[in-house]
Amino acid sequence: MKKLLLFLCLCFVCNLNANNILVINDFESGFGNASNAWGGSCEWVDNPLKTADNSSAKVLKINSTEFAATSIPFVLPDGKTLTDYMGVRLQLAVLDACGENIHWVGCDLGLQDQVGNKCWPATASWQTGALNTWMTLDFWLDEATLSSWFAGGYTGDLSLLVKVGRQKFVYLIDNVALIEKTEYVGDSSQNCFGVNLSGAEFGGIYPGVDGTHYGYPTYKDLDYFKKKGLNLIRFPFRWERIQRVMNGELDATELAKMKTFVQAAEDRGMPIILDMHNFARYSFDGGTTHVLIGESSVLTAEHLADVWRKLAREFKDYTNIWGYDIMNEPYSMLPSAPWVDIAQVVINAIREVDTETPIIVSGDSFSSARFWVEYSDNLRTLVDPSDNLIFQAHLYFDKDYSGQYLNSYDADEVAPDTGVERARYFVEWLKRYNKRGLLGEYGVPDDDARWLVTLENLLAYLRDNGVSGTYWSAGPRWGNYKLSVQPTQNYTVDRPQMSVLEKYTVADDNSSAVESQVAESPDNLQVSCQGRMVVFRSRKSCEVNVWNVSGNLVRKVSVLPYAPSHITLPQGFYIVGSEKLIVR
C-alpha cells in the first residue's frame, strides 16, 4: 500500500548517487578545504577518541576561543538542490572545556553569493555536545527559508557552516552529511509514540485571531520531537475555524495553515493525526454556547460527514497522514443520535473520496479507557469498507479520570500501576475483537516524581501490547501548564516528563515501526533496525560483517537458521553484509 511506514535510510559511502545520505566530509582523505571563519582554528588530526562509536582514523579538530565557525564546502549531485534534503547529520565530541559553560554546536547552510559573502538562510539550531564522547546530532533544514533564498537566485557554490562555542572549548567533528528526504509511505498500522501538538484548537473564541486566541505549532516543535524519537503527532484543530458555515467550503486561510504544518511534518518523515477537537459539538455564536450533534437540525451527523469528506479530499494525497481522527472525546450523546451511528455516517462519507487513509474513532464518554466497555463496546459494530479503523481511548491517572490533577498524588490515591489497570480495559477489548488501538491522550504533572513512575509503567504496557500513544500535550502556547512537555529556553531544556517519554518511541510486534529496514539480500539475510537494536534473520547459517562508514570492521555476527540474532550499535552509519543503513 502507498502508506507502508518504512524509513529506508541507505547511507552514502563511495559515490554521489541517489542514496539518502550525502557525505560532505568524513575527513578521512583530508581537510577538504574547510576553513575557519572566526573565533578559533581548525586542524586535521588523528582521532583521539577512537571507539566503537567512531573508529575513524582522521577527524576535524576545532579550537575555540569564543564562538568559532568552520565552513565546509561541498557539491551536490547533478539535478539536486538543497530543498531535496531534510537535514544535516554529524558526529561531535567535546575534547576539552573550561568547565563553566554549555558545550554548544549548531549548523547553518552557507550559500555563496556573487561576491563571495556568506549568507545564512536560517538561524543555527543549537544542540549540546558531550565531553569525551562521540554523539550523533541531527539539524533539520528550514525549507521555507531555503525556498525564499533560492527565489532570489544564487551562484550554486555551497558550504556548511558548523558553529561551535563557547570560550576555550576543543571540539571534534566527523562524518558530516546531508540527509535526503526519504519517501514516507504507510498504512498507519505502525505502532509508534508521539505527542499532541496543541495550539490550533486553543482560545474558546471562534474563529478568533491567529496569534492572539490560538496559534499553530511550528517546524521547530516538529524538529524537537523528531530528535526525541517521538514522531507521531496528533494535531488538534477546531471545526469552527476550518468550516465557518455548515456545508460550506473549507476556510482557505486555515486550510493553508494546516497544510503548511502537515507538509513540514511530511518533509521530516513524521506521521500526522488530524484531530477535530470539538467534543461532538459546534459553536455558532463564537464560543458562548455549543450545540451537540443530533440536538437539532442545525447540526447533524451529515454536517460532520460533509466537513470530513472535504478534509479527506484535501489531505488524502499527503503521504504522512496516520489517520483521520473524526472527533475528539464525544460525550453525553443523545439516545436519538448515538455516537456509533454518527461515526458510521462519517466513515461512509470519507470512503467516498479516500479509500486508504485510516479512520480513527474515539470512544464515547470522553473516550475513557477505563470505561471503554461500558460506553464504547458498540463501536465494534462499525463497518469500514476499507477495513482500516483505529479505535482511540484517553487515560489520565487522577481520581476522577479528568486529567485536571486538582489534588496530589497521594490524595488521588494513585499507585505505580494505576495507568496499567485503567488501560487494560481498552487493550483487552482490542485483543478480544482483533482491533487496532491508539491511546491518544495521557499525561502527568511535573510536580512529583512518582507520577513519572506511573507514566513509565503505562508506556511499557502499551509498548508490550503493540498500542500506539500520543502524550497530552505539547505546543508553543501552553505556558506553565504542568502536564506540558514543551521544552523551555529556546528548545534547549526538557520538561521532567521527557526523561520517560523519550525511552518509548515504538511499540512491539509491528515491523512497520522499524526506523531503517533493508530488503532480503541474495544470501537470504534480512537486516532491520529498531532504534539502536539491529536484528538479523536468515534461512541458513551465515556470518555477517558490520562495518562503519570509514570501512573499519565493527562487529562480526553469527546468524543461525530461523533464529533472530540481535546486537546494539551506537548511532551512526553502517554497512551490514551487502546492505547499508543508519542506526538512529
Please give the domain boundaries of the chain with CATH numbers for all domains. 21-180 (2.60.120.260), 193-509 (3.20.20.80), 520-583 (2.60.40.3080)
Average pLDDT over residues 518-540: 61
Average pLDDT over residues 210-221: 94
pTM above threshold 0.85: no
pLDDT band at 80 (very low <50, low <70, confident <90, very high): confident
Percentage of the chain beyond pLDDT 90 is 50
Range in 106-120, 282-296, 303-317, 442-456 with the lowest mean pLDDT: 106-120
Using CA atoms, how far apart are residues 527 and 550, in angstroms rounded to an integer?
Answer: 20
Strand partners, 543: 558
pLDDT band at 113 (very low <50, low <70, confident <90, very high): very low
- Please say if 66 is a catalytic residue: no
Position 124 pLDDT exceeds 50: no
Instruction: Please give the mean pLDDT across all residues of the chain.
Output: 81
pLDDT value at residue 482: 97
**How far is the CA of 84 from the CAs of 179, 219, 372, 442, in angstroms?**
9, 17, 45, 36
Position 343 pLDDT exceeds 90: yes
Give first-to-last CA distance, the chain, whole Å. 25
Q: What pLDDT, in 10s, does the model give residues 450-468?
A: 999 999 999 999 988 889 9
More confident residue, 445 or 54: 445
Average pLDDT over residues 277-283: 98
Strand order of the β-sheet with 579-583 is 553-559, 542-548, 572-576, 579-583
**How far is the CA of 514 from the CAs of 140, 217, 440, 531, in angstroms?**
21, 27, 21, 8
Average pLDDT over residues 61-68: 79
Given a contact cutoff of 8 angstroms between Cβ atoms, the answer to whether 574 and 547 are in contact is: yes
Collapsed DSSP state (helix, strand, coil) of residue 142: coil
Collapsed DSSP state (helix, strand, coil) of residue 296: strand
DSSP letter assigned to residue 526: E
Average pLDDT over residues 322-335: 97
Given a contact cutoff of 8 angstroms between Cβ atoms, the answer to whether 460 and 422 are in contact is: no
**Grid cell in block for residue 469:** 500513544
Using CA atoms, how far apart are residues 311 and 316, in angstroms rounded to an integer?
Answer: 8
Range in 173-182, 244-253, 458-467, 483-492 with the lowest mean pLDDT: 173-182
Position 449 pLDDT exceeds 90: yes
Q: Are strands 321-325 and 291-292 parallel, antiparallel or unpaired?
A: unpaired
pLDDT value at residue 381: 96
Using CA atoms, how far apart are residues 163 and 72, in angstroms rounded to an integer?
Answer: 11
Given a contact cutoff of 8 angstroms between Cβ atoms, the answer to whether 519 and 513 are in contact is: no
- Please say if 502 is a catalytic residue: no
More confident residue, 222 or 99: 222
More confident residue, 161 or 259: 259
pLDDT value at residue 522: 43
- Among candidate residues 240, 329, 456, 579, the one labeled active-site is 329
Using CA atoms, how far apart are residues 394 and 410, in angstroms rounded to an integer?
Answer: 22
**Grid cell in block for residue 272:** 500526522
Using CA atoms, how far apart are residues 328 and 333, in angstroms rounded to an integer?
Answer: 13
pLDDT band at 15 (very low <50, low <70, confident <90, very high): very low
pLDDT value at residue 39: 75
- Among candidate residues 201, 240, 441, 579, the one labeled active-site is 441
Percentage of the chain beyond pLDDT 70 is 74
Given a contact cutoff of 8 angstroms between Cβ atoms, the answer to whether 333 and 283 are in contact is: no
Range in 122-136, 193-207, 359-373 with the lowest mean pLDDT: 122-136
pLDDT value at residue 542: 76
Average pLDDT over residues 95-118: 54
Using CA atoms, how far apart are residues 579 and 584, in angstroms rounded to an integer?
Answer: 16
pLDDT value at residue 178: 83
**Grid cell in block for residue 176:** 558530516
